[in-house]
């Protein structure tokens, strides 16, 4: 079975906090009413990083310079679907530029440990964030 890219997420550090989104509370989506990271479904022709940056722009109305992305890894190749997880850091002042886009109920800045301990955070992304924080080696990825 050939692997295919399905999506990408971005752990976006604004200062020392994570930019998070409270997912819509509708039963037709995965993890309704849970806190999430920016990112989403891959569109044909995008690189994984382009996907994560586009989704961040749509969800937080924030353009992230690809040069600020420090880390990225692909996950899930054994299932045939590859999702990417990236990490980027921006200055604390960036928070004033963030506004909620067309998805989600709210956005917020969350302390990293709070995110990792929170019961209402999409659980899939906690171990991926821990990989980044633990210094797991980044994969090679294409920058736009």
Per-residue model confidence (pLDDT) at position 79: 59
Q: What angle do CA 121, 123, 126 make, to 5 degrees?
A: 90
Residue 83 contacts residue 3 (beta carbons within 8 Å) = no
Task: State in words which class domain 4-134 has.
Answer: alpha beta
Residue 33 contacts residue 120 (beta carbons within 8 Å) = yes
**First-last CA distance in the chain:** 28
Q: What is the per-residue burial (b if ≥16 Cβ within 10 Å, else e) of 95-119?
A: beebeebebbeebebbeeeebbebe
Per-residue model confidence (pLDDT) at position 1: 42
Which of 19, 110, 109 has its CA nearest to residue 57? 19
Per-residue model confidence (pLDDT) at position 29: 92
Residues of the chain falling short of pLDDT 70: 1-3, 77-80, 144
> For residue range 56-97, what is the model confidence (pLDDT) as tens digits?
999 999 999 999 999 999 987 655 677 899 999 999 999 999
Q: Which helix (H) or strand (E) covers residue 126, if one does?
A: helix 125-134
* Encoded tokens for 18: 């994570």
Tell me the whole-structure pTM to 2 decimals: 0.92
Per-residue model confidence (pLDDT) at position 144: 66
Helix (H, G, I), strand (E, B) or coil at 116: helix
Per-residue model confidence (pLDDT) at position 6: 84
């Amino acid at each position: 079975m050939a692997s295919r890219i399905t999506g990408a997420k971005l752990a976006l550090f604004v200062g020392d906090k994570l930019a998070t989104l409270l997912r819509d509370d509708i039963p037709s989506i995965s993890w309704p009413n849970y806190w999430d990271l920016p990112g989403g479904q891959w569109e044909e022709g995008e690189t994984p990083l382009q996907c994560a940056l586009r989704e961040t722009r749509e969800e937080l109305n924030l353009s992230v310079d690809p040069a600020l992305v420090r880390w990225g890894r692909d996950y899930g190749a054994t299932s045939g679907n590859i999702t990417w997880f990236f990490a980027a850091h921006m200055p604390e002042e960036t928070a004033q530029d963030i506004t909620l886009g067309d998805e989600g109920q709210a956005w917020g800045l969350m302390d990293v440990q709070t995110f990792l301990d929170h019961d209402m955070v999409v659980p899939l992304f906690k171990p991926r964030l821990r990989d980044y924080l633990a210094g797991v080696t980044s994969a090679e990825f294409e920058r736009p």
